[in-house]
Amino acid sequence: MAPHDIRRPFKRAAISDQQKRRELSLLRQAQNRRDAQQQARCLASSILSLQSAAPESQPEQSDIELETVPEAEPESEAFSKDLDVRQASKLRGPEVRKWFARQLMLPEWMIDVPDRLAQDWYVFARPAGKRCFVVSSNGTTVSRQRNGSILHHFPSALPAGAKIRDGSGSAQSYCILDCIFHELDQTYYVIDMVCWNGYSLYDCTAEFRFYWLNSKLEESGACNAPSHYHKFRFSAVPVYNCDQSGLHAAYTGVVPYAKDGLLFYNKHALYQTGNTPLALVWKDENCSQYVIDTDGKGEIPSQQQVVLELQDDRKLVTSDDPPVLFGCLDGDIIEKVWF
Amino acid sequence: MEVTQVLLNAQSIDGAVRKNAEDSLKQFQEQNLPVFLVSLSGELANEEKPVETRKLAGLVLKNALDAKEQHRKFELVQRWLSLDGNAKSQIKACLLTTLTSPVSDARSTASQVIAKVAGIELPHKQWPELIGSLLSNVHQLPAQAKQATLETLGYLCEEVSPDVIDQDQVNKILTAVVQGMSSSEGNTDVRLAATRALYNALGFAQANFSNDMERDYIMRVVCEATLSPEVRIRQAAFECLVSISSTYYEKLAPYIQDIFNITAKAVREDEEPVALQAIEFWSSICDEEIDILEEYGGDFTGDSDIPCFYFIKQALPALVPMLLETLLKQEEDQDQDEGAWNIAMAGGTCLGLVARTVGDDIVPLVVPFIEENISKPDWRQREAATYAFGSILEGPSPEKLIPLVNVALTFMLSALTKDPNSHVKDTTAWTLGRIFEFLHGSVVDSPIISQANCQQIITVLLQSMKDTPNVAEKACGALYFLAQGYEEMGPSSPLTPFFQEIVQSLLTVTHREDAGESRLRTAAYETLNEVVRCSTDETAPLVLQLVPVIMMELHNTLEGQKLSSDEREKQSELQGLLCGCLQVIIQKLGASEPTKYVFMQYADQIMGLFLRVFACRSATVHEEAMLAIGALAYSTGADFAKYMPEFYRYLEMGLQNFEEYQVCAVTVGVVGDISRALEEKIVPYCDGIMTQLLKNLSSNQLHRSVKPPIFSCFGDIALAVGEYFEKYLMWAMSALQSAAELSTHIAGDDELVEYTNSLRNGILEAYSGIFQGFKNSPKTQLLIPYAPHILQFLDGIYMEKDMDDVVMKTAIGVLGDLADTLGSHAGSMIQQSVSSKDFLNECLSSEDLMIKESAEWAKLAISRAISV
């Protein structure tokens, strides 16, 4: 008859570290396999849906977008566009860089004062830091920088942002936020909201998006201090109407983050990917530390250097974000430089 | 051939004689198996032969019927079944005769052989008269034959499964066994044999336990046997009770009060082997109730399979004091002896299970015991109090425990440094580990560790690592859980300021002269691994500094020459620990780009070391080194190609290791890592790898758990090499197809369902990889002929309705990949499949986001395939 052996390890850990290493390896391998397969599928599906998205009407490059709010796209199409962002957050390599570079709304330099500035525009102080897309879905949150690289992979209090048992938010819920990660206080400053709890805001005006952002973000608990299921704090930035007092507040007001210029958003503009004249950026030495180069000691060198990029069409642009057109070179010079 | 003499020689102390005898036995067996087996059984039955040769003859016979290894066992069964009928009858007759032999060793050997033959023949409806003839013995024969017969019935029940014997015969067996057990049986040996036989026969008694009268009778006889004057009978009877507690938990209610009284008496008064079984009864009840409560979450409805009777909760006021008493019965030196098992240990283990079963209710029953004993001069009382505290830390709610722990923590830290007794320190360190395991970290709202006491805790633990090996090992364990609690706490860990000191102390422990005792060295490395795993970016530079240190340690293990086999084993174990540590470091540093970049400067040297570790052995590869190489390949990416020429032979060796199937499985995983890292650069090695993998699939010697990952690995390779996979397509597809046919339907227990689902998942991952690999290649059309079968497989498993979520997700993904790769070629085929409609719709409306996503993908791909 089988004797009862010591069937319970006495005062011993239940699992061996070797077994743990084996299991972690298997998990990693399974994840990598999924990633590899997912990548193959995502490339296909994002190409498909980008093709279908291409003929979409590009908002006119005029500042009189105004009252005519375009009709919302059919629900399904909007959904598939958001889905792409989530899928694309799993892409890798150069594809991902291209993809993400295309997805953010990028401001142009403010070179003149738009009409109806006080009525139609918002202004806020831009936090200095890493611009990124934060996507929460399926119990995890991923932040992707403009170059597509993952900044953080973490649990958050955003809907669907952490694996918590209470099951609030259905499996389909997810969020996409346009953020700047501010190193100093390890906080994601949310400058725009693209998608919230499965609801797409691509086709909503900035006015509505900011309203939604301010009410929902707070509500979700994402602004709370970090905890186990919420690794980084999120925060909205104070947004002002662009009248004199608003401008003054944004320009000189004290904010908990280092400023990097002022951002101006047209209230009626939808979230448009890529550069748009409906979002503008202003920088000077009072509201940004990145206006003038300094050396290691913090002193300003006598000469300022600028890196210029020569584009295929012979245009010479700065490597600013967004680039500023400097001029155009003629063919002779290009050949001389080339050889 | 004179068997007797050969068998005698086979037991000679002279090696040469022995070898010679073994060779002749082998030769005899190969030349004429039936005659060989018949003469062995004749030897066993022959009363004139010496007892040693009879016993050995029986053993050789038994070994000709059964083997541990599955594959060999199957061969032996087939061989017996095809053996000449006359020979078999002669052998069986000899065996049955031997049961009545006056020589007890001969009888006992015959019992075991009969059970083996029965194990082969009864499932094939052969030897139908066996049970009848055994039962007739019981009633007619002298005591010793009766004892041997009951023993045979016991072994027989152990060998064959209950569905092989019909209820009528089961009833007769049980009647004979229970009669043999009853107090009216005057012969102790008979009663003992019957009690032990019942232990094995309990699994056959389903019907009898459902009948109140029969069950009452069996239970009464078992309980009476626990009061027998013979200690072995009492022990065997309690073993029956333990088995009944898990097999027939739901039938116990009417007896539980009596059983409590019996067990309590045994725990307090009886000899240790009996007392241990009595405690085991309650541990086993805890196991049952924990399972039931976990499964139903304490929420019982009429349709629950087995209701919880809350036996433990009801017995609590009497059970806990009984268990607390046992804690005071420690043995000296029990902490040094790894195999030690005594009443105090069993009692503490049971107390821990009780705490998990009832939760908060146990706390007020144990706290007075702790308070009363924790400061007593007698070490036994202090140790018992500490052990009681440590045992109840899992189960009760943090709200209930944290106030206690906040008070106890300072006391424990002081005891760990100051208590004069090593047992107390050992248990104190273990208890601290339990505190950190269950009450520290993100699961708890109010942290027990603050900035104020963190420093003290670490100082005490590091100090205790210099204590005796068993105490130091427990201190390492406590540190392990302390570090684990800070995992994912944020960008900054409270351990950061101590990181360097902790690592240094752990390395010092690994170098202790006595680190081989109490698995101290292993514990130190495991803790180091956990500290590294849970470290944050702040300490990444320190983890980087650890790389050359561990490399140097590994290098040092390679220096020794001419090692004895004992030294070689130690070397290999140490190499395993160091490779494991490097694996953890590689994974940690590889996870972020900046650290990976710096780490890569060591890649060449590390790989060189791993290759040298492999070279230390001739026949097998080192599993830990293999695991570490997988992590390295993942971090290095395509650059790993430069290591392949040298590494390849070990990879092949790992894939060929059927015996240590874990090694084989790990190596298969590494092939996947390498495929993803090298992509098309793996082509030169594909012939060898694919050949070996296909060979592994067709082998029935390889543990089945390795087969699903092999299929997944096909997918990894196909995705990596693209259309180059054409070369293997036919072979891979044929292996996949036959596995798919086998795994469409499942008939079996939960374990088989789980295995079949993992097999399906492997097959589907292979299909996905192959489709995706061939996509956009001019050779796509090669896959068209396989599409109907694949769709049929998808439809088949969908219709079975028993796939798990993982399979569902992979399956619907395959449908998308098939549509995406074959496009219009498969359009009409896809439209005809059930999968493209019902299955797809079911997945589209799934709650599981992964399934839904894959389904969205499949929908998109199908709509394109159909529209074009």
Length of chain A: 339
Overall residue count recorded for chain B in this entry: 868
Distance in Å from the first CA to the final CA of chain B: 81
Stronger pLDDT, A222 or A30, i.e. the higher one: A222
Contacts B818 to A, Cβ<8 Å: none
Using CA atoms, how far residue B168 sits from B160, B161, B207, in Å, is 16, 15, 11
The torsion angles phi and psi of A122, rounded to 5 degrees, stand at -105, 160
Q: If pLDDT is split at 50, 70 and 90, which confidence band does B467 have? A: very high
pTM for this predicted structure:
0.72
CA distances B338 to B270, B299, B387, B470, B517, Å, are 25, 40, 17, 10, 10
Answer yes or no: do A41 and B239 touch at CB < 8 A.
Answer: no
Query: Can you point out the beta strands (E) in A86-229?
Result: 105-109, 121-127, 130-137, 140-145, 150-154, 174-182, 187-196, 199-200
Nearest C-alpha of chain A: how many angstroms from B367? 20
- Please, which pLDDT band fits residue B618 given cuts at 50, 70 and 90? low
Specify whether the CB–CB gap between B534 and B487 falls below 8 A: yes
Residue indicated by tokens 């017996």: B80
- Chain B nearest-CA distance from A288, in A, is 27
Is residue B60 within 8 A of residue B25, CB to CB? The reply is yes
pLDDT of residue B194: 96
A165 part of contact set with chain B, CB < 8 Å: no
CA proximity to A271, closest of A136, A124, A127, A106: A106
Query: For chains A and B, what is the number of CB pairs under 8 angstroms?
Result: 130
Would the CB atoms of A172 and B852 count as touching at under 8 Å? yes
Residue A21 and residue B583: Cβ atoms within 8 Å?
A: yes
Percent of chain B past pLDDT 70, that is, above it, reads 98
Question: What distance in Å separates residue A76's CA from the closest CA in chain B?
Answer: 12
Write out chain A residues lying below 8 Å of B775, CB-based: 40, 44
CB contact under 8 A, B199 and A11: no
B772–A40 CB contact, under 8 Å: yes
Min Cα distance B315 → chain A (Å) is: 22
Nearest to A171 among B276, B772, B848 (CB): B848
Only one residue has tokens 């709202």, namely: B445
Complex confidence, ipTM: 0.71
Say whether pLDDT at B794 is over 70.
yes
pLDDT of residue B70: 76
| A44, A83, A149: residue with CB nearest B820 | A44
Predicted pLDDT of residue A335: 57
What local confidence, expressed as pLDDT, does residue A97 receive?
A: 58
Q: What is the pLDDT of residues B103-136, one digit of tens each?
A: 999 999 999 999 999 999 999 999 999 999 898 8
Q: Which residues of A touch B430 (CB under 8 A)?
A: 11
Please identify among residues 117-146 of chain A the ones whose CB lies closer than 8 Å to any CB of chain B: 137-138
Facing residue for A137 by CB, picked from B277, B430, B849? B849
Q: What is the mean pLDDT of residues A79-89?
A: 48
Average pLDDT estimate for B410-415: 95
CA angle centred on B166, ends B163 and B171, rounded to 5°: 115
Among B18-32, B79-93, B97-111, B377-391, whose mean pLDDT is lowest? B18-32
Ranges A108-112, A301-305, B23-27, B738-742: which has the least confidence: A301-305
Residue type at position B31 = Q
Of A33, A44, A155, the CB nearest to B765: A33
Structure tokens at B457: 């805790």
Is the CB of residue A52 less than 8 Å away from at least one CB of chain B? no
| Whole-angstrom distance, CA of residue B96 vs CA of residue B110 | 7
Q: Mean of the pLDDT values across residues B361-369?
A: 97
Residue A72 has pLDDT above 50, yes or no: no
Pair of tokens at residue B227: 């009061």
B1: closest CA of chain A, how far (Å): 36
Does the pLDDT at position A293 exceed 70? no
A40-49, B61-70, B433-442, B609-618 — which is least confidently predicted?
A40-49
A275 and B CB contact within 8 Å: no
Task: Using a CB–CB cutoff of 8 Å, tell me whether A24 touches chain B.
Answer: yes
Range among A258-272, B57-71, B418-432 with highest mean pLDDT value: B418-432
Best CA proximity match to B253, nearest among B288, B228, B202 = B288
pLDDT in tens, B654-674: 999 988 888 999 999 999 999
The pLDDT assigned to A294 comes to 61
Q: What is the pLDDT of residue A34?
A: 78
Distance, in Å, from the CA atom of A170 to the CA atom of A172, rounded to the nearest integer, reads 5
Q: Would you state the pLDDT for residue B860?
A: 85
Q: How far apart are CA B471 and CA B460, in angstroms?
A: 12
CA angle B28, B34, B40 (to 5 degrees): 70
Average of per-residue pLDDT values in chain B: 91
Contacts of residue A247, Cβ cutoff 8 Å, sequence gap at least 6 = A123, A240
Identify the band that residue A320 occupies on the pLDDT scale cut at 50, 70 and 90.
low
B469-524 pLDDT, tens per residue? 999 999 999 999 999 998 877 778 899 999 999 999 999 999 999 999 888 999 99
Average pLDDT over residues B184-211: 94
Return d(Cα B126, Cα B111) in angstroms, integer: 18
- Choose from B286, B853, B856 for mutation: most chain A CBs within 10 A: B853
pLDDT exceeds cutoff 80 at B6: yes
Query: Hunting for tokens 């005594």 — which residue is that?
Result: B342
Helix, strand, coil content of chain A in percent (nearest 5): 30, 25, 45
- What DSSP designation does B305 have? S
Please tell me the distance in Å from A130's CA to the nearest CA on chain B: 16
Helix (H) / strand (E) containing A281: strand A274-282
Cβ of A1 and B200 within 8 Å? yes
**pLDDT the model gives residue B540:** 92
As a whole number of angstroms, the distance between CA A262 and CA A283 comes to: 6
Distance to chain A for B744, nearest Cα, Å: 23
B580, B716, B852 ranked by CB distance to A18: nearest: B580
Q: Which two tokens stand for residue B743?
A: 């795994």
Contact A228 B488 (CB under 8 A): yes
Are residues B829 and B788 in contact, defined by beta-carbon separation less than 8 angstroms? Answer: yes
Looking up tokens 């996509």, which residue turns up?
B775
Q: What is the pLDDT of residue B202?
A: 95
User: In terms of CA atoms, which chain A residue is nearest residue B846?
Assistant: A171
Residue-level pLDDT at A69: 33
Measured CA to CA, the distance from residue A194 to residue A213 in angstroms comes to 9
State whether residue A147 sits within 8 Å of chain B by CB: no
Interface test with chain B among A5, A10, A130, by most B beta carbons within 10 Å: A10
User: Cβ–Cβ of B490/A155 closer than 8 Å?
Assistant: no
Q: What are the residue ranges of helices labelled H in B10-82?
A: 15-31, 33-45, 51-63, 70-81
Q: How far is A42 from chain B (nearest CA, A)?
A: 8
pLDDT tens column, B269-319: 999 999 999 999 999 999 999 988 887 765 555 455 678 899 999 999 999
Sequence-distant (6+) residues with CB within 8 A of B268 are B275, B322, B325
B441 — pLDDT class (breaks 50, 70, 90): confident
**Helix B726-744 vs helix B787-800: crossing angle, to nearest 10:** 20
Which of A79-83, B171-175, B398-402 is predicted least confidently? A79-83
Q: Does the pLDDT value for residue A185 go beyond 80?
A: yes
Percent of chain A with pLDDT over 90: 13
Q: H or E stretch including B170? A: helix B167-181
Q: Which residues contact B785 (CB under 8 A, 6 or more apart)?
A: none
pLDDT reading at A6 higher than 50: no
Could you read off the pLDDT of B574-595 as tens digits, one per residue? 999 999 999 999 999 998 888 9
Chain B CB contacts of A147 under 8 Å are none
* Range scoring the smallest mean pLDDT among A120-124, B561-565, B847-851: B561-565
CA B735 to chain centre: 29
Q: What is the CATH number of domain A26-50+87-305?
A: 3.30.470.30
Four-residue CA torsion sign, B629, B632, B638, B644:
negative
Six token digits for residue A27: 């998990």
Q: How far is A56 from chain B (nearest CA, A)?
A: 20
* The pLDDT of residue B693: 95
